[in-house]
C-alpha cells in the first residue's frame, strides 16, 4: 500500500531470515518495505549486528505491481549472538517504523565443567559425594551426558553422578561431555581426592632386627596435593619426622610399637 500524506508512520518493514541459524555459519537477512513515493525519501537501516563481519547492501525493485525497497544484511553468526535482537528501521522523512527479530542461533554446549561436591571439605571414605556436569549455555538444550574416569567411560550417563559411600578407589580424574543436536561440549578433567590414610611396610615380609624398614603414609593422589605428615609412636608424636616415609636403617627391638600417621591439608586432617 502507498503511504498517505496524512499517515503518522510508514508501514512496519518486513524482515525475513534463514530457517536455521548456526554458530560460525553465514546468514543473510532481508528487510523490505513498499516504496512510498518518488517525492519523499525512504531509507532502511539495520542495527544490532557486528559490523566487522557483516555487509549491508540495498536495492530497489520495480515491477508492474509497484516498487519495493530492500536491504540485505549478510553476516557471520556466533553462538554469542543467540537471543540478541536485530532490528530494521524504515524512515520516510521524519517518520519511522521498526521491525525486530530475535536470533535463535544453534550451537553446541558451552562452558562445560565438572563440579565436585562437597568442595570446601575433605572427602573421606564412607562419605557421600557428587559430581555434576555443568553447562553454562546450550541451544538447543543438552540431550545427553557422558562421564569418564581416568579416560575410561563410566556406565552412569546422568548429569549428576552420586557416590553414596566413597571408597579409596574412587580417587581419580573425572571428565564429562554434554551433547545436543549440534555437537559436544567437553569439560576439563577434575580430580576427586579421597582423604584416606593407609600405612604400608617395606619390605612387607617379617621385620628382622638390624634390617632396614620403611613405613610409608599413603594418601590417594598425594603427589598432586600439598600435604603435611606427622608420625606417631604409641600415640606420641615423633617430632623429628614430618616426611611421608619413616625409615629405620637398622630396626631394633626398642622400635617396636604402634605407629600411626596424621596427614594435614588446608581443609583438615586425617589419621
Output the CA angle 227-231-233, nearest 5 degrees: 165
Q: CA-CA distance, 147 to 27, in Å (whole number)?
A: 35
CA 184 and chain centroid, separation: 11
Whether the per-residue pLDDT at 4 is higher than 50: the answer is: no
Instruction: List phi, psi (to 5°) of 39.
Output: -95, 0
3 within some domain = no
**For 188, which DSSP code?**
P
174 within some domain = yes
Three-class DSSP category at 176: strand
Whether the per-residue pLDDT at 64 is higher than 80: the answer is: no
Choosing from 70, 103, 136, the residue where a domain stops is 103
Q: Which structural domain, as residue segments, surrounds residue 32? A: 14-103
The torsion angle over the Cα atoms of residues 233, 234, 236 and 240, rounded to 10 degrees, is -10
8 within some domain = no
Q: What would the pLDDT profile of 76-135 be if each residue is shown by its tens digit?
A: 999 999 999 988 888 877 778 888 889 999 999 999 999 999 988 889 999 999 999 999
Q: What would the pLDDT profile of 153-206 be if each residue is shown by its tens digit?
A: 999 999 999 999 999 999 999 999 999 999 999 999 999 999 888 888 888 767
This prediction's pTM: 0.79
9 within some domain = no
CB 261 within 8 A of CB 232: yes
Cell 566413597, residue located = 166
Question: CATH number for the domain including 59?
Answer: 2.60.40.10
Instruction: List phi, psi (to 5°) of 171.
Output: -60, 140
> Please, what is the average pLDDT of the chain?
85
Calculate the alpha carbon distances from 178 to 115, 143, 161, 243 in Å: 14, 8, 14, 42
Say what the pLDDT of residue 186 is. Answer: 96
Terminal-residue alpha carbon distance, the chain: 86
Q: CA-CA distance, 229 to 242, in Å (whole number)?
A: 5
Say what the pLDDT of residue 67 is. Answer: 63
183 and 209 together in one domain? no
Choosing from 192, 208, 232, the residue where a domain stops is 192
Q: What would the pLDDT profile of 223-271 be if each residue is shown by its tens digit?
A: 778 888 889 989 888 876 678 888 888 888 888 888 888 888 888 777 6
Amino acid at each position: 500500500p502507498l503511504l498517505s500524506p496524512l499517515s503518522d508512520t510508514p508501514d512496519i518493514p518486513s524482515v525475513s531470515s534463514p530457517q536455521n541459524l548456526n554458530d560460525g555459519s553465514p546468514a543473510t537477512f532481508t528487510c523490505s518495505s513498499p516504496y512510498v513515493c518518488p517525492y519523499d525519501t525512504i531509507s532502511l537501516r539495520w542495527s544490532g549486528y557486528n559490523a566487522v563481519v557483516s555487509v549491508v547492501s540495498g536495492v530497489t525493485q520495480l515491477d508492474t505491481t509497484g516498487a519495493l525497497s530492500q536491504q540485505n544484511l549478510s553476516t557471520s553468526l556466533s553462538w554469542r549472538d543467540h537471543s540478541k535482537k536485530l532490528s530494521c528501521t524504515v524512515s520516510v522523512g521524519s517518520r519511522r517504523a521498526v521491525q525486530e527479530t530475535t536470533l535463535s542461533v544453534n550451537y553446541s554446549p558451552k562452558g562445560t565443567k565438572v563440579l565436585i561436591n562437597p568442595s570446601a571439605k575433605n572427602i573421606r571414605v564412607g562419605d557421600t559425594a557428587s559430581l555434576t556436569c555443568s553447562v553454562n549455555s546450550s541451544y538447543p538444550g543438552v540431550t545427553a551426558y557422558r562421564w569418564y574416569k581416568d579416560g575410561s567411560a563410566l556406565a552412569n550417563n546422568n548429569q549428576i553422578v552420586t557416590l553414596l559411600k566413597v571408597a579409596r578407589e574412587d580417587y581419580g580424574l573425572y571428565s564429562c561431555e554434554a551433547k545436543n543436536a549440534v555437537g559436544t561440549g567437553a569439560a576439563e578433567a577434575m580430580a576427586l581426592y579421597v582423604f584416606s590414610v593407609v600405612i604400608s611396610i617395606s619390605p612387607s615380609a617379617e621385620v628382622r632386627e638390624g634390617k632396614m624398614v620403611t613405613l610409608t603414609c599413603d594418601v590417594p593422589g598425594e603427589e598432586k596435593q600439598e600435604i603435611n605428615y606427622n608420625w606417631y609412636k604409641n600415640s606420641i608424636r615423633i617430632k623429628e619426622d614430618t616426611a611421608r616415609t619413616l625409615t629405620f636403617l637398622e630396626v631394633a627391638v626398642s622400635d617396636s610399637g604402634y605407629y600411626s600417621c596424621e596427614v594435614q591439608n588446608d581443609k583438615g586432617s586425617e589419621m
